[in-house]
Amino acid sequence: MTSVRTVRLDADIDLLDVAGADGVVFENGSDGLAGRGEALRIEVPNTSPDGLAVVTDALAQIDVEDEIARPGTGAVAFAAIPFASDAPAAFVVPRITVGRAADGTRWVTRADGATDDVAAPVVDEPRARHFEVEAVQDPDQWMDAVRLATKHIADGDFDKVVLARELLVTADAPISRSGLLRRLRRSFPGCFSFAIDSMVGASPELLVSRSGDMVHAHPMAGTAPRGGDPTADARLAASLLASAKDRAEHQITIDMVWETLLPYCSYVDSEPEPSVVAVANVQHLASLVEGRLSQPAASVLELVSALHPTPAVSGWPLDAALRHLAAHEDLDRDRYAGAVGWVDAGGNGTFAVGIRSAILQGTTARLFAGVGVVSDSDPAAELAETDAKFQAVLSAILRP
C-alpha cells in the first residue's frame, strides 16, 4: 500500500452498512468511522511504546491526499489490543473507510485507488436460534477467589484487584457479528459501538482520545445495578455516590489517569466529583479528565501504552495486581479489557476500554465481566455484579 485519498461524502450512510459482515466499525453517537477490506496490516510484537511506534512509522510512510484534513481522515488504522501488554497485536488500514463527525462532515478515504461502493454488499447470514450458555469458572470457586483476594488486600499485598469471569455461548449456527452489533447499538446508544476482527461490543468507557493537542479520558470504576424503575434507579445511583467502597475504588483510577497524563501535558484537569453514567442495565461512577498536550504532542498510541491497563480493569498497585491475576484469575482475557479504537497518521485517535464485548468464532462467543475487589468486597455481591454486566452482551446475542 502506498497512498490514500480522502474526499467529502455528500450522502449520509449508516456506518454498519459500510462495514458489512466483516469490516471494522468504531462509533459513538454521531461520530464514527467504519471500513472494510484490508489495504495494510501492521503486526506489532507487543503494545509497549516501541511496539506501537511500528504503527506510527508505517502510517507515516503512506502518501496522503486529503481535502478535509481533520482527525480521522487520511490513513487510519483500527485495532483491538489485547489486555496483556506483552501480547502481539494487529492494526488494519481498510481499503475503504467512511467517517462521520458530530458537525455533519462526512468523508470517504480510499486506499490505492479502490473503487468499491461505499456500502458493502448485503450478505444473507444464517440465523442462530438455539444457544447454550456455560459458566467457564464454577461460581463457588470464583467467590473463593474473591475471598482470597480480600485476604491479600488485608495482608497489604495490594489495594485492589479486578477479577473477571467468562461465559461461553454456543449456538446452532454462526453468530452474526453485524446483527449483534446492530442490537448493541440500539440498546446502548451512548456507548462506543465497535466491531474489529472477531471482537464486538458496546463499551461505556473512554480510555483516551487525542484530537490535535487536546486529550480526554473518561475512566469509570464503581458499579450499581439498574432495573428500569426511575425511582429505584435514582436511589441506587445515590447509594453509589455515597458508597465509601465505590468512591475509594473510583479515586484510585482517577488518580492514576491524572498522574499518567500529566507528564505529557501543559495542564490536566478532572471533575472534582464523579457523576453517575447510566447504561441500560448498570450505572457507573465516572469522572472526565481533560488536558492540553505539550509540544511535540504525543500520539494517541503513546497515551494508550502509558494508560493501559488502568486500575479499573486490573487493580492497584499495577504490578502486584497483575501478578495476582496471572496466578489466580484462571482465564485468558485475550482482548477483553484491552483497548479498542483507531489512530490516524497525525497521531489523533480514540480508544475505548474493551469491556461489554464478545469474542466471536463461528458458532461460539466468549463473554467476560469483571469487578473491582477491595478490602470489604462481598463475594456474593461481586458475583451478582458480574451477572448484571454479562447481560449487556448476552441478551443481545440471545435476542432474535
Confidence tier at 233 by pLDDT (50, 70, 90) = confident
Grid cell for residue 4:
490514500
Domain boundaries along the sequence of the chain: 130-398
Confidence tier at 121 by pLDDT (50, 70, 90) = confident
| Phi and psi angles of residue 120, each rounded to the nearest 5 degrees, phi first | -75, 155
- Residue 1, pLDDT above cutoff 70: no
Could you confirm whether 245 is annotated as catalytic?
A: no
For 255-301, how does the pLDDT look when each residue is reduced to its tens digit (9 = 90+)?
999 999 999 999 999 988 888 888 777 888 899 999 999 999 999 99
Could you confirm whether 205 is annotated as catalytic?
A: yes
Grid cell for residue 42:
501492521
Contact 331, 164 (CB under 8 A): yes
Confidence at residue 83, expressed as pLDDT on a 0 to 100 scale: 97
Residue 33's beta-bridge partner residues?
26, 99
Supply the mean pLDDT for the chain.
93
Question: Nearest Cα to 324, choosing from 315, 334, 336?
Answer: 315
pLDDT above 70: percentage of residues in the chain: 100
pTM score of the predicted model: 0.96
State the catalytic residue, choosing from 27, 166, 205, 249.
Answer: 205
Confidence at residue 400, expressed as pLDDT on a 0 to 100 scale: 66
CA atoms of 77 and 341, how far apart (whole Å)? 9
Confidence at residue 202, expressed as pLDDT on a 0 to 100 scale: 96
- Tell me the average pLDDT across 150-170: 96
SS3 302: helix
For 74-107, how does the pLDDT look when each residue is reduced to its tens digit (9 = 90+)?
999 999 999 999 999 999 999 999 999 999 999 9
pLDDT above 90: percentage of residues in the chain: 79
Confidence at residue 306, expressed as pLDDT on a 0 to 100 scale: 96
State the catalytic residue, choosing from 160, 166, 249, 389.
Answer: 160
CA atoms of 261 and 266, how far apart (whole Å)? 10
Q: Does domain 130-398 have CATH number 3.40.50.360?
A: no
- Please say whether the dihedral angle defined by the alpha carbons of residues 187, 188, 190 and 193, taken in this order, is positive or negative: negative
* Residue type for position 371: V
Contact 92, 38 (CB under 8 A): yes
Confidence at residue 326, expressed as pLDDT on a 0 to 100 scale: 95
Work out the number of other CB atoms within 10 angstroms of the CB of residue 267: 10
For 321-349, how does the pLDDT look when each residue is reduced to its tens digit (9 = 90+)?
999 999 999 999 999 999 999 999 999 99
Grid cell for residue 298:
504525543
- Residue 304, pLDDT above cutoff 70: yes
CA atoms of 124 and 376, how far apart (whole Å)? 51
For 47-61, how does the pLDDT look when each residue is reduced to its tens digit (9 = 90+)?
999 999 999 999 999
